[in-house]
Chain A
Amino acid sequence: MKRTWVGMLVAFIAMFIMLVQNGASADNPKEDVAAAAAEAEVANPAKPAGKVTVQVDKTSLDNGGTITVTGTAPMGMPVYIEVWAEKQVRVSRFDADVDKETGQRPYRLYMTHEMPAYYKMFVPKEQKDKIDAAKKEDSKWSLSKVLKETGAETVYSAPAKIKIDRYQATLLGSIIGSRGTLLDPMDPKENKKRSMQLVKVRFRDVDKVIGANVQMNPDGAFKAEIPIREGLAPGAYKIVAFVDKDTKSDPVTFENKINFPTIYLSNAGTSLNIFLPFFLTLAVACFGVLMGAGGGFLLNPLLVSIWPLPHTIVAGTVIPTVLFSQGSGIYNYSKIKFINWKLGVTIGLSMLAGAFIGPKLTEMITLAQFKFIFGWILLVLAALMFWQTMPAYLEKNKKEQAILREFQRRAKESAAAKVATAT
């Protein structure tokens, strides 16, 4: 009974921390939004020639929705609209692809903490076929290619200037778990190129990064229905319309609000309804304990598939959830002297070394590689479980379990006897 109470207490503390964090993240300056919107409207009636103006039909959304952007641009020029969130997240990409010029693998890690939690480029509706073509390339699509083909390359700007650190990884460095040596900052052109690769890592699909939504009239007026998905970051979002690199509108701001039970995961850059991962974890962990394999095997692939969560975050967050149950398990076994410390610590030290390296490797692989290797691990586990349901194994296991219970009974008796003599 005592254990139940401890468990409940921990659960409540955890819930409390969560609520406090949510409250803090939902607190956003609203005045800025209104001021920026007013500014944009003031700017609009003037309609100076050669300038781009833009306005929005609403300044606030409730966990996604559609915003209608209208504006004017010089006649006959294609209009591109960039929308991004002010909240930023971390993205990393390990570059081990063969360099076309030198023929060598660079083994460099690119990492930024300034990737907008939401970014999307909207291009004229006429460019839809180019985006569809990129979609057909499946996971091999390239953002720089799509931007070039749709003519949006020169106006791609919000993520272009983010600060990207690059590390030169070495084999030895990776083994001891170091990111490698930090290299000099990149020039703006290189930074832009690398930022496009990071945008792809972050948002995964063509659809999420680029859309053909801008409807243009011959007189230079344009209109775009901009869909903002559910589950995005809360806070201020900026909209800027471009006709080319230097001709652009002033930024217009709107705010995306989220309310409990939807909360924002600041490290993962995603908002979600807390009850969904809660019940998913509960169901998967229950099943995991029943099948004797822990929940991580099922939970991790589901988390990366259902939500746009980075695999590094998923792996790093699922591991510590088992610490409590492992700790109490060890405590219970040690009470009845059911642990051989020499054996456990010897193998444990080799596992300690392995676990030092593993988390470093997580950020060196892509989501696709993560899924591929995880797929094989699950198949091996399935084979292992299948073997454990074979008659020969069951027969042997029956005897083993009987001996195990006998030993546990004796161990408990001896522990109880010791307590009795001590008191």
Chain B
Amino acid sequence: MIVEFWGHEFKVNVVLGCVGGFIIAVLSSMFGFGGGPFMVPLMSVGLGLPMYVVVGSSLLAIAFNSVMGSLRHLQFGNLDWTLFAIMFPAAIMAGFISPQIAKRVSPIVVKRVAVVGLCLLGLKLLGVY
């Protein structure tokens, strides 16, 4: 598939993109996390697209996943409205607060802290300690 973006044309491996997107969507909706951190590397490294093409289009693709995942969880009765009403305002507030914090901290430091935190939490879930 040829994709045209701001006057540049890119050749995209649709099969890889769709199969990868499908697997990420299954896992993401099954476990309830956003697919962004896996979709962006898939599209930038896997499909070889530059970052300026990836940012907007990956968000659009993930929105399909979120909408369908939400509807299906709702259908299966997995949505607790009270808990949702508690978390939703917090998630929106975070969207306004974190850009303010982002100005003051280095993204590299945040990522390194995140690596340690994710490893600890991951090993905890695997029952290592």
Binding site for B on A (CB under 8 A): 3-4, 7, 10-12, 14-15, 17-18, 21-22, 90, 177, 263-268, 274, 277-279, 281-282, 285-302, 305, 309, 312-330, 333-334, 337-363, 370-379, 381-382, 384-386, 388-389, 394, 397, 400-401, 403-404, 407-408, 410-411
Contact = CB atoms under 8 A, between A and B. Distances in A.
Given A281-B86, A282-B90, A319-B70, A7 B76 contact: no
Given A277-B87, A343-B17, 14 more contacts: A263-B82, A265-B82, A294-B34, A317-B87, A319-B70, A320-B70, A349-B18, A350-B21, A358-B72, A362-B31, A371-B126, A376-B126, A386-B115, A400-B51
B36 to A, nearest CB: 6
Given A7-B93, A278-B89, A290-B105, A382 B37 contact: no
A352 B91 contact: no
B31 A11 contact: no
A382 B101 CA distance: 22
Interface in B81-120: 81-99, 101-102, 105, 107-108, 110-115, 117-119
Nearest to A314: B32
A355 B51 contact: no
Interface residues of B, number: 99
A373 B31 contact: yes
A401 B121 CA distance: 30
Interface string B42-67: 01000000111101111111111111
B62 to A, nearest CB: 7
B21 A385 contact: no
A265 B74 CA distance: 15
Interface string B1-43: 1011110000010100111011111111111111111100101
A300 B126 contact: no
Interface of B: 1, 3-6, 12, 14, 17-19, 21-38, 41, 43, 50-53, 55-70, 72-99, 101-102, 105, 107-108, 110-115, 117-119, 121-127
B78 A351 contact: no
A-B residue pairs, 8 tightest by C-beta: A354-B25, A316-B78, A358-B29, A315-B32, A344-B60, A316-B73, A296-B33, A285-B94
B76 A355 contact: no
Given A268-B80, A344-B56, A385-B111, A377 B94 contact: no
Given A347-B18, A358-B25, A375-B123, A352 B86 contact: no
Contact of B83 (A317, A348, A353, A374): A317
B32 to A, nearest CB: 3
A315 to B, nearest CB: 3
A7 B99 CA distance: 15
B74 A316 contact: yes
B105 to A, nearest CB: 7
A410 B77 CA distance: 46
Contact of B51 (A316, A357, A404): A404
Nearest to B82: A265
A75 B128 CA distance: 50
Given A317-B83, A339-B57, A361 B26 contact: yes
Nearest to B70: A320
A252 B74 CA distance: 37
B59 to A, nearest CB: 5
B74 A374 contact: no
A312 B30 CA distance: 9
Contacts of A382: 114-115, 118-119, 122
Contacts of A177: 72
30 contacts: A18-B86, A177-B72, A267-B81, A285-B91, A289-B102, A290-B102, A291-B111, A293-B36, A294-B33, A294-B34, A297-B33, A298-B118, A298-B121, A300-B32, A300-B33, A313-B79, A313-B80, A315-B29, A315-B32, A321-B87, A324-B88, A339-B60, A343-B57, A345-B61, A351-B21, A355-B29, A355-B72, A362-B31, A379-B126, A382-B119
A326 B58 CA distance: 11
A359 B89 contact: no
A91 to B, nearest CB: 11
Nearest to A284: B94
B95 to A, nearest CB: 5
B63 A348 contact: yes
